């Protein structure tokens, strides 16, 4: 009984940390005697280790893809302070300025009258009491909020410039 327990602990050591003498993790079952004593144990353990390897590779691939995507997004944002501001604004509202303009069907974010008119119309049409969608209504609201943030930023940058005194 003690010998099987020691072999069992040895197996778990090799399964978690790898066998230093073998490069193939599936070969570690060859020298462990209790694996051959229990019918169906070897294929089960090989399946578990194989599945863990597949999950590990998929996780690694997903992290690499996410890193690549974030780098591309930073390049598209323009980099520097301007890009950092855009990324910050996009992360607050969850949408880009381009998406906001598409939702509210405007071409210029400085056309306040058209933005207000389209916003009111889309907000009322998507009212839940009238059979509309709360999700679409929130998208319209976030689009208006994103354009308002852009207008605010442009006003702040315009007002921070020194004004020339009239003579």
Residue 133 placed within a domain: yes
Q: What is the DSSP string of 49-70?
A: HHHHHHHHHHHHHHHHHHHHHH
pLDDT at residue 167 is higher than 50: no
- Digit-coded pLDDT (tens) for 59-105: 999 999 988 888 777 777 666 666 666 666 666 777 888 899 999 99
Q: Do 54 and 87 fall within a single domain? A: no
Structural domain boundaries enclosing 126: 79-159
CATH number where 139 lies: 1.10.287.110
Q: Do 27 and 89 fall within a single domain? A: no
Which helix (H) or strand (E) element contains residue 5? helix 2-17
Query: What tokens were used for 154?
Result: 């442009």
The DSSP secondary-structure symbol of 129 reads G
- Digit-coded pLDDT (tens) for 23-64: 555 555 555 555 556 777 778 888 999 999 999 999 999 999
Q: What is the DSSP string of 6-49?
A: HHHHHHHHHHHH--TT-SSGGGGGGS-HHHHHSTTHHHHHHHHH
- Digit-coded pLDDT (tens) for 1-21: 344 444 444 454 444 444 544
- Digit-coded pLDDT (tens) for 141-160: 999 999 998 888 888 877 65
Q: Do 93 and 54 fall within a single domain? A: no
Q: Do 86 and 155 fall within a single domain? A: yes
- Please identify, among 33, 64, 95, the residue that sits at the C-terminal boundary of a domain: 64
Q: Do 42 and 104 fall within a single domain? A: no
The DSSP secondary-structure symbol of 126 reads T
- Digit-coded pLDDT (tens) for 106-134: 998 888 999 999 999 999 999 888 888 99
pLDDT at 42: 79
């Amino acid at each position: 009984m003690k010998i099987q327990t020691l072999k069992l602990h040895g197996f778990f050591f090799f399964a978690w940390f790898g066998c230093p003498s073998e490069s193939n993790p599936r070969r570690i079952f060859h020298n462990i005697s209790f694996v051959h004593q229990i019918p169906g144990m070897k294929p089960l353990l090989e399946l578990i280790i194989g599945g863990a390897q597949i999950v590990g590779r998929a996780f690694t691939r997903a992290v690499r893809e996410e890193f690549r995507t974030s780098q591309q997004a930073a390049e598209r944002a323009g980099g520097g302070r301007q890009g950092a501001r855009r990324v910050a604004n996009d992360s607050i509202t969850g949408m880009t300025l381009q998406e906001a303009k598409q939702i509210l069907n405007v071409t210029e974010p400085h056309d306040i009258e058209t933005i207000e008119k389209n916003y009111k119309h889309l907000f009322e049409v998507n009212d839940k009491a009238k059979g509309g969608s709360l999700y679409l209504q929130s998208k319209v609201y976030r689009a208006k909020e994103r354009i308002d943030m852009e207008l605010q930023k442009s006003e702040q940058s315009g007002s921070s410039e020194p004004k020339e005194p009239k003579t």
